[in-house]
Amino acid sequence: MTDISTLIKSNIRTARNWPRPGVNFRDPSGVFSDVGTFQALVSWFGEIVYREKITRIAGIDARGFLIAGALAHATQLPLALVRKKGKLPPETIEASYSLEYGTASIEVQMGIVEKDDHLLLIDDLIATGGTIRAAIELFNRLGLQNITVGAIINLPELGGSRLLEEVGISVNCACSYAEDE
């Protein structure tokens, strides 16, 4: 049986020097288009849900929604959405984060979580960790302290997963890539 990392990596395409020179874009589209791989990924995240006693799933706009929605359905847990600014009706709270080319903002709706929830926050990729750290900030502001992070891809050389782990966040990634890989 193939381990999850090998299976996932066999369905990820690397676009070298895109969208600009020096960037290796890891495209997870193949993970979603291959039914068996997507099912295996959802099952892998399901094991985390049960092991960590997760009570709510959250997905980050946009590819995080795909995993989080399927996982919430499979585990019969409620789903919270972390959206780009301006995509949710009021009442929301917002956090901004830095990108390599500027800043962006995300939002969640007020009342979307309960203070005693144990949240599994899912995105497609952890690079510098800016988006996930902003989402954690939002959920912390809503009173939630018990958060686990999950992603398809980890780029550890960019430091995001390390920053999360340094503040006590459990990080679970299906695969990791070195920059020269």
Q: Which of 110, 109, 102 is nearest to 130 (CA)?
A: 102
What are 37-47's pLDDT values in tens digits? 999 999 999 99
Express each pLDDT in 61-88 by its tens digit.
999 999 999 999 999 999 999 999 999 9
Cβ contact 100:107 at 8 Å:
no
Q: Which pTM does this prediction carry? A: 0.95
Task: Name the DSSP class of 117.
Answer: -
Burial 84-107 (b: 16+ CB within 10 A, else e): eeeebeeebebbebeeeeeeeebb
The token duo for 151 is 């992603």
Handedness of CA 41, 46, 48, 54 (dihedral sign): positive
What is the pLDDT averaged over residues 144-173?
A: 97
Q: How confident is the model at residue 102 (pLDDT cuts 50, 70, 90)?
A: confident
Helical residues (DSSP H) of 53-96, grouped into ranges: 63-75
Q: Which residues of 38-50 are buried (b: 16+ CB within 10 A; e: fewer)?
A: bebbbebbeebbe
